[in-house]
């Protein structure tokens, strides 16, 4: 998946502000933050979106969520609250076709989302 920008980040070919890494997952600051804190949590495995997952990905998906919470705690968001979002496909506005969870915090959010 050499053409995938997030695979290139995983491989270190594109520099990024990496803030977490384990065998399965990395997290880094979004290049175009939409809140004071805007972190992306991604699997090292190339998966297009949540729609590209099945039972075999259950542990990985759980790990991604746990890392989101860990990142939010480390950035001091746990008390004020924060949002975890994943965009799936065109109408949701997904622009990078490698599964990623946005962790957004440090401001108030509205509901429903735009
Ligand atoms: P989405 O629109 O849900 O697919 O989100 C893709 C996110 O990736 C956007 O918030 C972008 O700002 C972010 N992004 C794209 N390229 C990079 C990069 N090189 N480093 C960090 N974040 C990026
Ligand atoms: Zn990829």
Indicate which ligand has the atom closest to the C-alpha of 50. 1
Indicate which ligand has the atom closest to the C-alpha of 39. 1
C-alpha 34: how far from its chain's center? 13
Q: From atom 18 of ligand 1, which residue's Cα is the shortest distance away?
A: 31
Domains of the chain, residue spans = 5-105
CA distance 91 to 65: 23
User: 4 C-alpha vs ligand 2 centroid, how far in Å?
Assistant: 5
Average pLDDT in the chain: 97
pLDDT at 1 over 70: no
DSSP string, 43-57: ESS---SGGG--GGG
Q: What is the CATH number of domain 5-105?
A: 3.30.428.10
User: Is the CB of residue 26 less than 8 Å from the CB of residue 7?
Assistant: no
Does residue 59's CB lie within 6 angstroms of at least one atom of ligand 1?
A: no
pLDDT band of residue 114 (cuts 50, 70, 90) is confident
pLDDT digits (tens, 9 = 90+) for 59-81: 999 999 999 999 999 999 999 99
CA distance 44 to 6: 8
Does residue 33's CB lie within 6 angstroms of at least one atom of ligand 1?
A: no
């Amino acid at each position: 998946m050499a053409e995938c920008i997030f695979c290139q980040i995983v491989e270190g070919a594109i520099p990024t502000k990496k803030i977490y890494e384990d065998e399965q997952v990395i997290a880094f600051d979004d290049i175009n933050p939409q809140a004071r804190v805007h972190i992306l949590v991604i699997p090292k495995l190339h998966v297009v979106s949540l729609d590209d997952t099945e039972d075999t990905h259950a542990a990985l998906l759980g790990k991604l969520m746990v890392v989101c919470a860990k990142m939010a705690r480390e950035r001091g968001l746990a008390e004020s609250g924060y949002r975890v979002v994943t965009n799936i496909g065109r109408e949701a506005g997904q622009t990078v076709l490698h599964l990623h969870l946005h962790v957004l915090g440090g401001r108030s959010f509205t509901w429903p989302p735009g």
